[in-house]
Amino acid sequence: MNVLLLAYGSLGDIQPFVALGRALDRAGHKVVLAAPARFESYVAEHDLPFAPISDALVELADSAELRASREGGALQSGVAWLEALRRGEDAATAVLEDSWAAAAFGPDLVVHHPITAGQHIAEKLRVPSVLASPQPSYVPTDAFPCSLISVPDWLPPAFNRFTYTLLAWSGRLLSGPTDRWREQVLGLPRRRGSHDPLRQPDGRHTTVLHAFSPHVFPPAPDWPDAVHSMGYWFLPAATDWAPPGELVEFLDAGSPPVCVTFGSTVGGDPRRSARTVLDAVRLAGVRAVLVSGWGGLQADELPAEVFQAEHVPFDWLFPRVSAVVHHGGGGTSAAAVAAGRPQVTCPFGVDQPQWARRMHQLGVAPPPIPQRTLTTAALAEAIHLAATDAAMAQRAERLGKLVNAEPGAEAAVTVLEKLVSRKA
């Protein structure tokens, strides 16, 4: 097969596609991974052909206004997003043009992230499109609400399916540049349902691959048979990476620390967030490794009990810590689950609250602490519980064993091979 993998978003969105690309390559298939240009070196580390897509929409999502809105209420966040979308048409056009250019090698299958234009490219090429999602946010169900729509807990279950309609409506906010691109570049007419990635042009259900564990999010009973959940898509551990000597010395110098990382989704004041974290670590009486990451926590002065690193592979670090404190992102949650470690979740928004709630429901994390209500005392109490509760540690270890036994990306390759063979 010749496969175009089309991904967009943060590192947590890109990593599963890299893992799928490596699995396809091992199975003898030709792969091109198209993703934001900022991830070119990351993809190159895994020996995959790369097609850069404009970073414009990622940069817009990471603007100062949107970063600050993450710590505000729903109204502040909504107003900030609407203003960003108003300024996003040129950015969307650049992303669309680069996405089409990535298909120049002639794929016979397009596997795409939900926020990309993969279904339009597949329609033009007259090949199947496959939706690959790192979160359970796009296939409607009565079982739980869409994780990308913030709804109060008191709403009845009957409201769940409607939240997916709300997501579809929000996805149409940039339909103008997409429709113009379809007509002027792809030569495709406007048609009913063209923006629905869950339906092929002939009306059939689109194959959906979920890049998460059914032990974490069990398949909804009303999902169609075209939806497949076969486990997280993890990359093999890096063989050419060595930890800094100072980090090894810190880990060996005392009891296992907690790891604190908020990824790229830090609010408007990364230094204030870092101060809250440092005070909570001191109050909890634990040691800590602070992973600042891309645009992450910023600490100027560190006590002896805290080590700061810009980047450390989670699959190396997490098994060596007592608990993981993070923003609730799907990728970081998955890495903590795979490491068999308890978690403390401090979600900002988007899909993070749902992952955070799920970790608590599974018994591997205390109740989530939303960033807008984060205090030193609450964070210290949660850290102490996660780092010392033996029952929570046992549940986390059992869940990790279940997740690590799943076939993941290799099973996804089998689904894709069957799909293309039927098409042929």
Find out whether 305 and 260 touch, Cβ atoms under 8 Å: no
CATH of domain 245-404: 3.40.50.2000
pTM of this structure: 0.88
Q: Cα(400)–Cα(407) distance, rounded to whole angstroms?
A: 14
pLDDT value for 66: 53
The encoded tokens of residue 89 equal 């048409």
Q: Cα(53)–Cα(205) distance, rounded to whole angstroms?
A: 28
pLDDT value for 387: 97
CATH of domain 2-234+408-423: 3.40.50.2000
pLDDT over 90 percentage in the chain = 65
> Is 245-404 the same fold as 2-234+408-423?
yes
- Residue spans of the domains in the chain: they are 2-234+408-423, 245-404
pLDDT at 76 over 50: no
Tens of pLDDT, residue by residue over 90-134, are: 888 999 999 999 999 999 999 999 999 999 999 999 999 999 999
Largest CA distance in the chain: 65
Tens of pLDDT, residue by residue over 334-367, are: 999 999 999 999 998 878 888 999 999 999 999 9
Ramachandran angles phi, psi of 88, nearest 5°: -95, 0
pLDDT at 74 over 50: no
